[in-house]
């Protein structure tokens, strides 16, 4: 019989969906250590994981019966894919499902930063509101602003669709230019990375974390941004050089930033926490009930299809 280790707390439906399998569950709201994963998963043929589980080479080579790692996430930078390939272990993920919820959060951050939402909220709750004033918390409107999307995959496209509704002009940079027909549908124009950073009023990041995208937005590229630019990151924290961003925000060289991800999660630098021109969220891009349930169901289905010798709907690596 297949044996599964589920590394994170899941709803009751998981036990119903996996009733035919011998399954070990982590029901605690904490991340399992490497040693715990190796011990609990010593006989496992599958790991059902999330993006906070670091499934490194040591773990992969310590689980002799492992057939599949099913990541309940779009990204997979938490898994050593090279080691998985060496052991011919399938790696699956859930990319398409997260797009709409994450795009919503990107738009939420744009609005929150541009309209100074949390500054105004804190001001009111502190009892400082004395009535309407002409200059009270004037922000920046999104209408007719230039949105620069870096990474025009599923999430980037969803952000572009939402931006059209706000009357924004969309420009984008991607590793490969998307087909002209899609550009027309999204009213999107292709720019080089440097030109996009110089041109856009708002920059929204939607790239995976790879060696090429690590610190993609570094000190030099931050200096290209307009003084009133807003930087949004719902991708992965290390895509931005966090120290360089803090310096730019402290010196007010850009208007602000909205971050749902951080370079060394869950650690957040105190300097970043104290700034009033940045909005911070605790990595909740996909956190809707509907999205998380669908992610879990798809991750389980991917895993079961590997067990049955079928092709999973989404995968990073599949042994031949």
Residue 258 parent element (H or E): strand 256-259
Does residue 158 sit in helix, strand or coil? helix
Nearest of 222, 223, 150 to residue 190 by alpha carbon: 150
Residue position matching structure tokens 């605790």: 282
Contacts 24+ apart (CB under 8 A), 239-243: 239/205, 239/207, 239/209, 239/213, 239/214, 239/215, 240/205, 240/215, 240/216, 241/215, 241/217, 242/269, 242/272, 243/269
Is the omega angle on the peptide bond into residue 51 within 30 degrees of 0, that is, cis?
no
Question: What is the spatial distance between Cα 293 and Cα 300, in angstroms, rounded to a whole number?
Answer: 11
Positions annotated as catalytic residues are 236, 265, 283
Among residues 16, 315, 39, 17, which one has the least CA distance to residue 26? 39
């Amino acid at each position: 019989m297949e044996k599964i280790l589920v590394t994170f707390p899941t709803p009751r439906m998981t036990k119903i969906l996996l009733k035919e399998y011998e399954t070990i569950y982590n029901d605690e709201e904490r991340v399992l250590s490497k040693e715990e994963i190796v011990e609990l998963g010593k006989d496992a043929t599958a790991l059902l994981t999330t993006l906070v589980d670091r499934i490194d080479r040591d773990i992969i080579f310590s689980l002799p019966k492992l057939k599949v790692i099913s990541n309940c996430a779009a990204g997979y930078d938490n898994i050593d894919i090279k080691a998985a390939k060496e052991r011919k272990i399938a790696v699956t993920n859930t990319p398409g499902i997260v797009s709409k919820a994450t795009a919503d959060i990107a738009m939420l951050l744009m609005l929150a930063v541009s309209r100074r939402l949390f500054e105004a909220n804190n001001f009111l709750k502190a009892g400082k509101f004395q009535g309407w004033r002409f200059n009270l918390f004037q922000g920046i409107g999104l209408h007719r602003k230039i949105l620069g999307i870096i990474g025009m995959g599923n999430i980037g496209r969803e952000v572009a669709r939402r931006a059209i509704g706000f009357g924004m002009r969309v420009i984008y940079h991607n590793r490969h230019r998307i087909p002209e027909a899609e550009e027309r549908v999204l009213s999107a124009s292709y720019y080089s990375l440097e030109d996009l950073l110089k041109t856009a009023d708002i920059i929204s990041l939607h790239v995976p974390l790879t060696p090429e995208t690590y610190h993609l937005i570094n000190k030099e590229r931050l200096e290209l941004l307009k003084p009133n630019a807003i930087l949004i990151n719902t991708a992965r924290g290390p895509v931005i050089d966090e120290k360089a961003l803090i310096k730019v925000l402290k010196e007010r060289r850009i208007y602000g930033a909205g971050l749902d991800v951080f370079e060394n999660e869950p650690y957040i630098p105190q300097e970043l926490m104290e700034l009033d021109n940045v909005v911070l969220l605790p990595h909740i891009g996909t956190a809707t009930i509907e999205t998380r349930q669908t992610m879990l169901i798809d991750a389980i289905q991917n895993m079961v299809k590997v067990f049955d010798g079928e092709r999973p709907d989404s995968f990073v690596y599949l042994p031949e």
